[in-house]
Amino acid sequence: MPDRNDRWSDLLRRGLRGEGPAYAAFLSEIAPVLRSIVRARTGGSEDTEDILQEVLLAVHAKRHTWREEDPVTPWLYAIARYKAADALRRRGRTVPQVPIDDLVEVLPEEGGETTAARDLRVLLGKIDQRSAQIVQALGLEGQSAGEIGAELGMNEGAVRVAYHRAMLRLKDLAMSEDG
């Protein structure tokens, strides 16, 4: 069974291509999840349903901005967060502020390595060196499979296969650490 992100991505992709039933299913499936996000962001406000409608309208209006190669859930969650914050501001309530003074030691230095970069570096350290090198060069530096193949003595197809397998290993490692 595909995960929720894969299913929603597929439904939205099909909806963008004109499949009405797929788009309707997409909206029906995301609504309860977005409702939970809105409820959590607004402290269980009585305006949850109104804000949810704003979120769904924004998803509909901005559906063309979703890049099909990206996961859909972060895109959806960002819209829900921003719309909830906007609604609270309009209603005269503020989004809770968390002081960060106590977190100075754990926050990265300005211009330092981001959490995502650090997480990726750690994950790349858990796979074999050649695979990590291929992911770094192809996925992050934008080199072509032909260039990488020439450096590593591999043909272009083998580089693509190695890249795909490395990405699957990285995904599995990331999922096992989250679980």
For the stretch 79-110, pLDDT in tens is 998 888 888 787 765 555 555 555 555 555 55
DSSP 98: -
Name the domain count of the chain: 2
pLDDT of 25-54, one tens digit each?
999 999 998 998 888 888 777 788 888 999
Task: Give me the DSSP letters along 41-86.
Answer: HTTS-TTHHHHHHHHHHHHHHTGGGS-TTS-HHHHHHHHHHHHHHH
* Residue 77 sits in the same domain as residue 117: no
Q: Which domain holds residue 50?
A: 4-90
Which one has a higher pLDDT value, 110 or 124?
A: 124
Q: Cα-flanking dihedrals φ and ψ of residue 39, to 5°?
A: -60, -45
d(Cα 54, Cα 87) in Å, to the nearest integer? 9
- Which among 91, 37, 85, 83 has a CA at the least distance from the CA of 60? 83
Q: What's the whole-model pTM score?
A: 0.50
pLDDT given for residue 30 in this prediction = 92
95 inside domain: no
Q: Does 161 map to a domain?
A: yes
What are residue 74's phi and psi, to 5 degrees?
-60, -35
Residue 164 shares a structural domain with residue 128: yes
Q: What is the pLDDT of residue 127?
A: 93
